[in-house]
Structure 1
């Protein structure tokens, strides 16, 4: 594989990482962009840091009840990550004592792990609802409004749908106003733009002459050669 196509493969790999919600370092992004493309992205990131400042933290120490909630969310995140990494195989029916409940039989191991993660998120949300019912003021420590109604609810049992503490460093934390770009979205924009320009360049470039025919190609005579 030649160097241009290696660069294209690296860009596609980094885009896949970002689309999967994984963090990509600035060094990795810079290694596949041109100097001008990187300068444009660095400028956008600097402006993003200024405009999208995190919410100010409340004064005082975070209540211990919320620390318990944060632990439940962390445990659910671990289960969700294990589900994503799990191979999609049918549950082993031969091991009788390991069989899941009847309504879950027939699911793959991956699907079962997702069910475990969803149940863990549900337990965390139930705990949060109890805490906010007893002490509504705890909501100032959350990164988003937490409404639990069936029609107008703002929470759901998944990594992006559960409220997180404003001190959380999770990639799923919502520290910024809806509609504003995130650093990963700026990185994806820069990589996709570079990939589009790269594909356009390849489409305009004439196809190379196969090596075995290169020696047989004669130079086309022109008028200045005395023909």
Structure 2
């Protein structure tokens, strides 16, 4: 009986780990693409009300995510997304601070001359962004990705509000549910400690594997 419960807990821990990788990995990649595209557009294009719209984006940085949890829950409830993967994934696709960072990187790393040369060669705007702009601003993309990956991986309040099915829990919420049971069942202590140790590994791997892009961004332009 004890062995069966231990296997069940291990299966849940593995499921939560995969859920966290899905939320953090998928959400961070899509969010980084959206932020870089928005920052690129704010930097390279002129349109009516651009600075006012960018000011609204910056105002979004001042709003804490915890204050938005209840309104997002009500919206998700009306659309039938509560207690699904989408209820956690969709809100993390927006990051106002990431848009600001992307615009700063776009200004510093994408020369207008390179874009004009590509347009003269007949490339469309989407091709110019995908083939030239995105590659030049890759240090900014990596920076936004790491910030968002860390934020989503450690996110606790949003899944707590949106999810009630244990199978959909991320690792942070699952370990918290185990930690509340440690007073009644001390056997949960090793599971919580082991899970907390494993939770650090993806963050270390992400920072170590992507640090060369940061170094490239820091040294870009230092040698002419």
TM-score of the alignment, normalized to the shorter chain, above 0.5: no
Higher helix share: 2
Larger radius of gyration: 1
TM-score per shorter chain, which class? under 0.3
